[in-house]
């Protein structure tokens, strides 16, 4: 599995396409049979706080590529639900990154390999 993280509009989708995937290969925030999951953070948000990071990591284990926006940087939200969501995203990414073959951070359209 390849994990691709980065800020909003940092080039994640373009990078995934450079790996040979097309739009039809990508699901956006939903789990289905396609090999690429875009926007892991949206999938977690849609679960309304009922996500256990280990269970979610297991449910996306068959994906070839997973992308996620970096959401843990910046001001900590006052809303407890927003903080919990960030926590779930971060913990899930930690688990997935540990298991991934490659982890790439996109910065200004430039892929930086972390693992």
* 74-82, long-range: CB < 8 A, 24+ apart: 81/49
Phi and psi, residue 22, nearest 5° = -115, 170
pTM value?
0.91
Per-residue pLDDT of the chain (115 residues; tens, 9 = 90+): 999 999 999 999 999 999 999 999 999 999 999 999 999 999 999 887 677 889 999 999 999 999 999 987 778 878 888 888 898 999 999 999 999 999 999 999 999 999 9
The single residue listed with the structure tokens 């925030």 is 29
């Amino acid at each position: 599995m390849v994990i691709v993280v980065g800020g909003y509009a940092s080039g994640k989708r373009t990078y995934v396409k450079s790996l040979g995937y097309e739009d039809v290969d990508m699901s956006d925030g939903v789990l289905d049979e396609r090999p690429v999951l875009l926007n892991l953070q949206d999938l977690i948000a849609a679960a309304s706080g009922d996500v256990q990071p280990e269970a979610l990591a297991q449910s996306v284990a068959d994906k070839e590529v997973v992308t996620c926006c970096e959401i843990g940087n910046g001001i900590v939200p006052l809303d407890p639900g927003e903080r919990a969501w960030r926590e779930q995203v971060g913990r899930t990414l930690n688990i997935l990154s540990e298991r991934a073959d490659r982890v790439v951070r996109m910065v200004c359209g430039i892929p930086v390999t972390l693992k």
